[in-house]
Amino acid sequence: MLAGIDYFIVIAYIIGMLLLGLYFKKFVNSSEDYFLGGKSLPFWAIGMSIVVSDIGALDFVGVSGQAYRYGISVGNFDWVGSVPAMLLAAFIFIPYFWRGGMYTIPEYLGRRYNQKVRTIASVTWILFFALDLGVLFWASAVLLNVLMGWPIWISIVSTAGVVGLYTYFGGITAVIMTDVVQFVIMFIGGFALVFLSLYEVGGWDNMVEKIATMGPEYRNHFDIIQPQNTKSPFPWTGILFGLTFVMANAYMIGNQSIVQRCLTAKNEWHAKASMIFGSALKMFIPILVLFPGLMAVVVHPGLADGDQALPLMIKSILPPGLVGLMFAAFFAGLMSSVDSLLNSTATLFTKDIYEPFIKKGADDKHYLKVGQITTLVLLVIGVATSPISSDFPGIYVAIQTFMSYFQGPIFSILLLGIFWKRSTEWGGLSALVIGIGFAVYLNVFKEQFFTIEDPFLYISWWSFLLGVIINISVSSLTKKHTAEQLQGLVFSSKILSKNKNL
Amino acid sequence: METNEINAGIKAAQINNALGFFILVFGCIVLFAMIYTETFIEHMTDMIAGLLLISIGGGMIWKARNTIKKLKAK
């Protein structure tokens, strides 16, 4: 448990976040303010927010733990698994979403294919986000319980109260701006941790030498590319095909909570620049997250659970003050994941379900209210379902697996939707439905198809590939769209220019 | 400059001002935490981290206030 100054810092951080978030209430007067921050935010804030929401507290601990167990190959997730996809998103995809004045990714799919594709994609994301909420509330409560000694229920309710209040009132502006603070604190605390850890292990060369003598299981710890028959979940084939080609692109281009941030930019230049700036910042993440995990191999050898590596390093290496600040950043990471889910789910529900199916053509204030009420309802669902997470310890992994079911198929229809004019509404719909079904099938019978324990990278690759094949086959047999229907929705070299007439 | 652009500029500056204040306060707390450190290296780490946070926060406040002053004059 934390004590003294560190305890005070965590409390001050939570209260400060609440006050800061509530301050942004004065900037919310319409649904565009609530869902897209009034399209007025600068690239640097959005770029920082993308990085922070991508690397939440659970990932922070998890990636360090994986670096402890498997070495630097886990860094692929932030290098080849993020940077190329973010550049592709910046130059090709974001301009389409931006110029089309869209709020959600399913909205693009609806315009490009049909309403059914939009609804299926939107409902899938809403289900995923709603399930994830309970898990994140539980994780926040456990963290507060361990650090501060608060009972679980008080921890859940206080997390929900703080995050709920500022997301309800401040919308996405509060979400992004609280992320900026977290980013600054995470980077300063993270670099302090790396510097002091290096000092503790006697420098980089000394650490490499020590790890090399620790046994055969550490032989590949400094190989960024792992052989195809590795026991780790990161063989080079999975990294190249599953991660670089599919999951990274699907996450950076097809994930509502990421893309929605870019759409809050003050103009198209800022929208693109936010992704490019985010990709530059992303390259530092492995240094902050992975290195402490590696150094823990020397400082705390033989840990049964690698996920303990980072918290142990923070407690044993950082001085008073920075310990509290880093744990506050952890907590803020969880809050950031929760507020992103709340706001993105409210946007998806209001724009893709409520507006087209429940009440068309209402005034803007009405949709703003619906977005806010949806946020409250989601909050209640998240709090009510959070204890379920404690009954199923593997639920976080299960939810991440669920994400790999639909990332591949959704990316396949997004990719062909933009780059292949011949792709039709039936092609898109069948690729989405069959692709998701195939991913579920592969996961259920994974022992028969794969040799590694957790083949989520392979599953996303094969479901993506099947999605592409189905889309091409069905589209070739069905009626194609007219040129007018495709206006502004398919690739044109004009997207690379400043020409607004696509 | 149009009124909308001026309002957007003021809004951005007000946001930066609030963020800067928050970061500055935390910088001061980390600097204060120096008195709880035991070794020289811990002392220096808290000092550098605290001063960095204070300069980032202070810089944001200074820039935001200047911008607000300029935009309001227009």
Average of pLDDT values for B30-52?
92
Q: What is the pLDDT, as a whole number, of residue A499? A: 56
- A363 shares its domain with A466: no
Q: What percent of chain A has pLDDT over 90?
A: 38
Residues A171 and A206 in one domain: yes
For residues A182 and A139, membership in a common domain is answered with: yes
Within 10 angstroms of residue A399's Cβ, the number of other Cβ atoms is: 17
Are A345 and A415 found together in one domain?
Answer: no
Find all residues with CB under 8 Å of A232, minimum gap 6, and list them. Answer: A69, A70, A73, A220, A226
Residue A191 and residue A332 in one domain: yes
pTM attached to this predicted model: 0.89
List pLDDT tens digits, range A100-140.
889 999 999 999 999 999 999 999 999 888 888 888 888 77
The 10s digit of each residue's pLDDT in A52-106 is 887 766 677 778 888 888 888 888 888 888 899 999 999 989 998 998 889 999 9
Identity of the amino acid at A174: A
The answer to whether residues A373 and A416 belong to one domain is no
In whole angstroms, what is the distance from residue A346 CA to residue A163 CA? 14
In a domain, A501, yes or no: no
Q: What is the spatial distance between Cα A345 and Cα B63, in angstroms, rounded to a whole number? A: 35
Residues A437 and A443: beta-carbon distance below 8 Å: no
CB atoms within 10 A of CB A470: 23
Token readout for A492 is: 């044109």
As a whole number, the mean pLDDT across chain A is 87
Mean pLDDT of A310-336: 85
The per-residue pLDDT for A354 is: 96
Q: Quick one: pLDDT at residue A398?
A: 67
B12 pLDDT higher than 60: yes
A10 touches chain B (CB under 8 A): no
Domain presence at residue A373: yes
Q: ipTM of this predicted complex?
A: 0.91
Q: Structural domain tally of chain A?
A: 2
| SS3 annotation, A292-305 | HHHHHHHHCCCCCC
Contacts of A4 in chain B (CB under 8 A): 36
Q: What is the CA radius of gyration of chain A?
A: 22
pLDDT at residue A323 tops 80: yes
- Same domain assignment for residues A126 and A242: yes
The tens digit of pLDDT for each residue in A137-163 reads 887 787 777 777 888 888 888 888 888
Q: Which of B15, B30, B38 lies closest to A322 in CB terms?
A: B30
As a whole number of angstroms, the distance between CA A6 and CA A3 comes to 6
Q: Are residues A338 and A421 in the same domain?
A: no
**pLDDT the model gives residue A265:** 94
pLDDT at residue A290, as a whole number? 86
Percent pLDDT > 70 in chain A is 95
Residues A249, A115, single domain; the answer is yes
Mean predicted confidence (pLDDT) in A325-340: 83
Q: What is the CATH number of the domain that holds A240?
A: 1.20.1730.10
Coil/strand/helix, residue A287 = helix
pLDDT at A498: 60
Residue A81 pLDDT: 84
CB-based burial of residue B1 (10 Å sphere; 0-12 exposed, 13-18 middle, 19+ buried)? exposed
Of B8, B36, B56, the CB nearest to A320: B36
Distance from C-alpha of A252 to C-alpha of A56, rounded to nearest angstrom: 15
Residues A381 and A276 in one domain: yes
The residue that leads in pLDDT, B56 or A225, is B56
CA distance readout (Å), B40 to A191, A347, B36, B45, B46 = 18, 50, 12, 9, 10
Give Cβ neighbours of residue A375 (< 8 Å, ≥ 6 apart).
Answer: A164, A167, A168, A342, A343, A346
Shortest distance, CA B44 to any CA of chain A (angstroms): 10
């978030």: which residue's tokens? A21
Quick: pLDDT tens for A265-306. 989 999 999 999 999 999 988 888 888 888 999 988 888 877
- Residue A263: pLDDT over 70: yes
Q: Choose among B8, B22, B52: nearest Cβ to A40.
A: B8
Residues A309-322, mean pLDDT to the nearest whole number: 86
> Is the same domain home to A454 and A349?
no
Whether B41 has its CB under 8 Å from any CB of chain A: the answer is yes
Domain boundary (A390, A408, A439) is at: A390
Domain assignment of residue A438, given as a range: 394-494
> Encoding tokens for residue A108?
């693009």
Residue A502 scores a pLDDT above 60: no
- DSSP state letters, A310-368: HHHHHHHHSPTTHHHHHHHHHHHHHHHHHHHHHHHHHHHIIIIIIIIII-TT--HHHHH
Q: Does B44 touch chain A (CB under 8 A)?
A: no
pLDDT surpassing 80 at residue A390: no
pLDDT at A396 > cutoff 70: no
Region of residue B29 (left: phi > 0; alpha: psi -120 to 50; beta: else): alpha
Whether the predicted pLDDT of A464 surpasses 70:
yes
User: Which residues in chain B (4-33) have CB-CB distances under 8 A to chain A?
Assistant: 8, 11-12, 15, 18-19, 22-23, 25-26, 29-30, 32-33
A38 touches chain B (CB under 8 A): yes
Query: Does residue A393 surpass a pLDDT of 60?
Result: no
Last residue of a domain, one of A371, A390, A409: A390
Domain contains A220 = yes
The whole-angstrom separation of Cα A372 and Cα A346 is 7
Cα separation of A423 and A112, whole Å?
9
